[in-house]
C-alpha cells in the first residue's frame, strides 16, 4: 500500500484523455502536485491510501477547465461600455480608461477578482494578455491558479510603457523572472497585427523563441481586419504575420474568425494553437469562427471567454454551450461539435493550444493535479440516464452551470472546497472593485460632457494656439480672381487643388462645439486624385470673435489626424446633428507685403452655395494680427475686382444664416 497526499474516491471520473477513459465509480490518487493514479476505485484504493481521502459522493471528477484567452484584470472594467462596435469600444472607451487607471495595483486587484470568479466556475488554467503582467502573474500564483501570462506589446504607448522598445525590455525581464515557475508560464503578446508594426511582430517572436515560451496574440478577429490587411499588405492576416516571422514562436492565436483553409494549414504546420471566443465574437458581431473546419484540419482549438469587459463574464460553462450551439446553428448541422468534442476543447485540446498540454488538460498519471468536482444532481440537471455512456458529456455541456462546481484543485492544492474559496477573500476584493468603479465613473462623466476631452481621450489632438486672420467674400466667378493674381505685388509660392468632403458634427453642449471630419482629396495636374488626407478639427471651445471692419479673428482650434473612420467618430461622439459640405478648393500660398497668406477659392457644390474667396493668415500675437488684418484687407481688394458681400467665417454660419 502506497501512502499519498489525497485520494478521491466514489467519483464519476472523466479523464478526458485520448481514449476518453471514464470510470463510473472511479478514484484518483494525488501526491504532491502530481496525479499518480487514476482508475476504478476498487483497484486504486487497493494500491493507495491517502492522507486525506475524499468521498466524492458520485460527483463528476474531471480535469479543470482551460480558459484559452482572456484579459483578467479587465474584471474592473466589466459593464463600463457595452453594445458598441469593436473600434469604438476599444479605442473610445477601454484604451483611454486604461491609460488613466491601469497600474500594478489595478492589475493585481482585477486579476484576483477574476481568479475568484474562474475558480468558482471550475477553471484551473487560463491564458491572459494584459499590461503589468508581472503583477497579473503575482496575483495569479497567489490565488494558486495556473496561467500563461502574456505581456502586451503595442505600437503606441501603453499604461506600462512609453514605447514598444520599453515594453519589449519589460517583457524580457519579466519572462526571465518567471521562467520555470510551477504555476506561471510567462509569455509575450504582440496585441494584434494592426496594433503592432512588422518590427514588433519580429522582435516579440524572436523573444518568445529565445526563451521557448508561448506568443499570445489576436489574429483575424474581424472581416475588416482581413480587408485592411489585404489592402495594406496585399495578403490576408495569417500569411502576413508568417512573413513577419511570427510563427517562429509557438503561437496562441485568439479568434481566427476570418481565416480560410490554406491559412488553417499554415497554422497547423507551425503548431499554432487557436482560442475560440464565441461570446466575444457574438457580442462584438465579429462573426462565427470556422471551428469545425479548424478541428478537422487538426488544429488545437481551445475555448476562451475573452476579457470580462467584452463578454462580460469568465464563465466557461456558458462559453462551452455557446460554442456548441453556434457551430450547429450556423452550419445547419446539429451533429457539428458534439458535447464530448466541446468538453475536450475546454480541457485537453485547450491545454495543447496553450502549449501546456504535457502539464494539464486531462486526468492522466504524470500530469499535474488540476481537477474539479462537479455536482450533476441539482434540479436543472436531472434525471440522469445511464444508457448512453456519452450522456454525461451532454449533461455537462447543455445543462450544467458554473455554480455546480463544488471543489477545485490546482497543482495538488485545493483552491475551493465545498464552494468556499480558500485563497481569496471575495468581500474585500469587491470593495476594492467598487472604489475603482466610482473613480472611473466620475472620470468618464466629466469626459463625456466635453467634446474636447473626448477628442483628447482618443489621442493626438493638437491645440493650435494661434489666431487666424480671415476674411471671406462671395464672388461670381473665378477667372477674374486668377487674373488679378498676376499682379506683381502678389508672389505665388505654391498652388494646390483639392476636393474636400466635410462632415460637421454639431453638439448641444454649452460651447456649441462643432467637430469637422474632413477628407482632403489632392487633385493633380491631370485632374486625378493623387492622395487623400483625413483630419478632425474641433471648432468652438474658447473661440473668440473680434471683428475689425470686415475681418474676422478666430482663436485656436484643435486638430487631430483622423485615423479612424467617419462611422467610428459618429458612434463615438454621438453628435446631436450633422451636415455635409462638399467643395472644390483652389488654394494658393502667396507672399504679399512680406506676409504669407493663403488664398482659397472655394466652389461649394453641396449644398450649392456658389463661389467664395477667402484670404487667411495665421498669427501668434494680437499686435501681429492687427498688421495682418490691414494687409489682408488690401490683398482682398486687389483680388476682388467686384467687391462681394463679406460673409461669416465658416460655412456652418452660412448655412444657418440662409435658413
Ligand atoms: Zn482578447
Is 570:578 a contact under the CB 8 Å cutoff? Answer: yes
Specify the pLDDT at position 585.
95
CA of 168 to the centre of ligand 1 (A): 19
CA of 201 to the centre of ligand 1 (A): 17
> What residues contact residue 116 under an 8 Å CB cut-off, 6+ apart?
143, 421, 424, 426, 429
End-to-end C-alpha distance for the chain, whole angstroms: 96
99 φ/ψ sector (left φ>0, alpha ψ -120 to 50, else beta) = alpha
| Pairing relationship of beta strands 577-592 and 273-276 according to DSSP bridges | unpaired
Tens digit of pLDDT for each residue in 269-308?
Answer: 999 999 999 999 999 889 999 999 999 999 999 999 999 9
Least confident range from 221-235, 394-408, 429-443, 644-658: namely 644-658
Q: 26: which strand partners? A: 11, 40
In three-state form (DSSP H/G/I as H, E/B as E, the rest C), the secondary structure along 392-425 is HHHHHHHHCCHHHEEEEEECCEEEEECCEECCCC
pTM for the complete prediction?
A: 0.83
Nearest-angstrom CA–CA distance, 575 and 652: 15
Residue ranges with CB less than 5 Å from ion ligand 1: 306
Specify the pLDDT at position 2.
95
- Residue carrying the nine cell digits 472607451: 93
In Å, the largest CA–CA distance within the chain is 111
Q: How confident is the model over 104-119, as a mean pLDDT?
A: 98
Helix (H) or strand (E) holding 111: helix 104-120
Checking if the pLDDT of 547 tops 60, the result is no
- Residue carrying the nine cell digits 468632403: 501
Nearest-angstrom CA–CA distance, 99 and 115: 23
Buried b (16+ CB within 10 A) or exposed e, 266-297: bbeeeebbbbbbbbbbebbebbebbbbebbee
Specify the pLDDT at position 535.
87
Q: How confident is the model at residue 554 (pLDDT cuts 50, 70, 90)?
A: low
CA of 81 to the centre of ligand 1 (A): 16
CA of 261 to the centre of ligand 1 (A): 23
Please report, for residues 278, 485, 490, 492, 614, the alpha-carbon distance to residue 588 in angstroms, rounded to integers and kept in the order given: 55, 10, 11, 7, 10
CA of 468 to the centre of ligand 1 (A): 45
Nearest-angstrom CA–CA distance, 544 and 290: 57
Nearest-angstrom CA–CA distance, 29 and 7: 5
Specify the pLDDT at position 538.
84
Checking if the pLDDT of 541 tops 50, the result is no
Specify the pLDDT at position 118.
98
CA of 254 to the centre of ligand 1 (A): 7
CB atoms within 10 A of CB 373: 24
DSSP calls for 528-577 = -EEEEEEEEEEE-TT--EEEETTEEEE--EEEEE--S-HHHHHHHH--SE
Mean pLDDT, the chain, integer: 91
More reliable by pLDDT, 267 or 615 = 267
Tens digit of pLDDT for each residue in 325-334?
Answer: 999 999 999 9
Specify the pLDDT at position 543.
42
CA of 453 to the centre of ligand 1 (A): 27
Q: How confident is the model at residue 657 (pLDDT cuts 50, 70, 90)?
A: very low
In three-state form (DSSP H/G/I as H, E/B as E, the rest C), the secondary structure along 30-71 is EECCEEEEEEEHHHHHHHEEEEEEEECCCCEEEECEEEEEEC
Q: How confident is the model over 308-318, as a mean pLDDT?
A: 92
Amino acid at each position: 500500500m502506497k501512502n499519498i497526499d489525497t485520494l478521491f474516491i466514489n467519483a464519476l471520473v472523466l479523464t478526458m484523455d485520448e481514449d476518453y477513459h471514464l470510470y463510473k465509480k472511479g478514484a484518483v490518487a494525488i501526491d504532491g502536485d502530481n496525479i499518480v493514479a487514476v482508475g476504478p476505485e476498487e483497484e486504486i484504493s487497493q494500491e493507495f491510501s491517502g492522507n486525506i481521502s475524499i468521498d466524492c459522493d458520485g460527483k463528476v471528477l474531471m480535469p479543470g477547465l482551460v480558459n484559452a484567452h482572456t484579459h483578467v484584470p479587465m474584471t474592473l472594467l466589466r459593464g463600463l461600455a457595452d453594445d458598441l462596435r469593436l473600434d469604438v469600444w476599444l479605442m473610445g472607451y477601454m484604451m483611454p480608461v486604461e491609460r488613466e487607471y491601469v497600474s500594478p495595483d489595478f492589475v493585481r486587484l482585477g486579476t484576483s477578482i477574476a481568479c475568484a470568479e474562474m475558480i468558482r466556475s471550475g477553471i484551473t488554467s487560463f491564458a491572459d494578455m494584459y499590461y503589468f503582467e508581472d503583477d497579473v502573474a503575482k496575483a495569479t500564483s497567489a490565488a494558486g491558479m495556473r496561467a500563461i501570462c502574456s505581456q502586451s506589446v503595442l505600437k503606441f504607448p501603453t499604461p506600462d510603457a512609453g514605447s514598444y522598445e520599453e515594453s519589449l525590455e519589460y517583457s524580457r525581464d519579466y519572462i526571465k523572472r518567471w521562467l520555470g515557475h510551477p504555476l506561471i508560464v510567462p509569455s509575450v503578446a504582440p496585441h494584434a497585427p494592426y496594433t503592432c508594426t512588422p518590427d514588433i511582430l519580429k522582435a516579440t517572436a524572436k523573444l518568445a523563441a529565445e526563451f521557448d515560451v508561448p506568443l499570445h496574440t489576436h489574429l483575424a478577429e474581424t472581416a475588416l481586419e482581413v480587408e485592411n490587411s489585404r489592402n495594406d499588405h496585399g495578403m490576408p492576416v495569417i500569411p502576413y504575420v508568417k512573413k513577419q516571422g511570427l510563427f517562429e514562436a509557438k503561437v496562441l492565436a485568439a479568434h481566427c474568425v476570418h481565416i480560410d483553409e490554406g491559412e488553417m494549414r499554415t497554422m497547423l504546420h507551425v503548431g499554432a494553437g487557436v482560442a475560440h471566443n464565441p461570446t466575444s465574437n457574438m457580442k462584438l458581431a465579429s462573426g462565427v469562427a470556422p471551428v469545425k473546419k479548424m478541428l478537422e484540419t487538426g488544429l488545437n482549438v481551445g475555448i476562451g471567454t475573452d476579457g470580462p469587459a467584452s463578454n462580460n463574464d469568465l464563465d466557461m460553462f456558458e462559453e462551452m454551450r455557446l460554442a456548441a450551439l453556434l457551430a450547429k446553428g450556423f452550419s445547419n448541422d446539429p451533429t457539428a461539435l458534439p458535447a464530448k468534442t466541446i468538453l475536450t476543447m475546454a480541457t485537453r485540446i485547450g491545454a495543447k493550444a496553450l502549449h501546456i498540454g504535457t502539464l494539464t488538460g486531462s486526468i492522466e498519471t504524470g500530469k499535474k493535479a488540476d481537477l474539479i468536482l462537479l455536482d450533476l444532481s441539482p434540479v436543472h440537471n436531472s434525471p440522469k440516464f445511464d444508457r448512453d455512456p456519452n450522456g454525461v458529456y451532454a449533461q455537462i455541456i447543455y445543462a450544467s452551470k458554473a455554480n455546480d462546481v463544488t471543489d477545485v484543485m490546482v497543482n495538488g492544492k485545493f483552491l475551493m472546497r465545498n464552494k468556499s474559496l480558500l485563497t481569496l477573500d471575495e468581500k474585500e476584493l469587491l470593495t476594492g472593485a467598487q472604489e475603482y468603479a466610482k473613480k472611473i465613473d466620475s472620470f468618464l462623466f466629466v469626459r463625456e460632457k466635453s467634446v474636447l476631452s473626448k477628442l483628447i481621450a482618443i489621442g493626438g489632438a493638437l491645440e493650435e494656439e494661434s489666431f487666424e486672420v480671415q476674411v471671406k467674400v462671395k464672388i461670381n466667378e473665378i477667372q477674374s480672381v486668377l487674373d488679378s493674381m498676376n499682379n506683381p505685388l502678389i508672389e505665388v509660392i505654391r498652388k494646390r487643388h483639392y476636393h474636400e468632403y466635410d462632415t460637421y458634427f454639431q453638439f448641444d453642449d454649452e460651447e456649441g462645439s462643432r467637430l469637422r471630419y474632413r477628407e482632403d482629396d489632392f487633385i493633380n495636374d491631370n485632374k486625378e486624385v493623387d492622395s487623400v488626407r483625413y483630419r478632425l478639427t474641433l471648432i468652438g471651445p474658447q473661440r473668440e470673435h473680434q471683428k475689425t471692419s470686415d475681418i474676422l479673428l478666430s482663436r485656436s482650434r484643435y486638430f487631430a489626424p483622423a485615423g479612424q473612420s467617419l462611422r467610428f467618430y459618429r458612434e463615438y461622439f454621438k453628435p446631436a446633428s450633422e451636415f455635409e459640405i462638399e467643395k472644390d478648393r483652389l488654394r494658393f500660398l502667396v507672399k504679399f507685403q512680406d506676409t504669407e497668406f493663403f488664398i482659397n477659392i472655394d466652389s461649394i457644390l453641396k449644398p450649392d452655395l456658389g463661389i467664395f474667396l477667402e484670404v487667411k493668415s495665421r498669427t501668434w500675437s494680437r499686435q501681429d494680427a492687427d498688421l495682418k488684418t490691414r494687409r489682408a484687407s488690401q490683398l482682398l481688394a486687389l483680388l476682388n475686382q467686384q467687391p462681394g458681400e463679406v460673409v461669416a467665417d465658416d460655412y456652418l454660419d452660412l448655412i444657418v444664416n440662409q435658413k
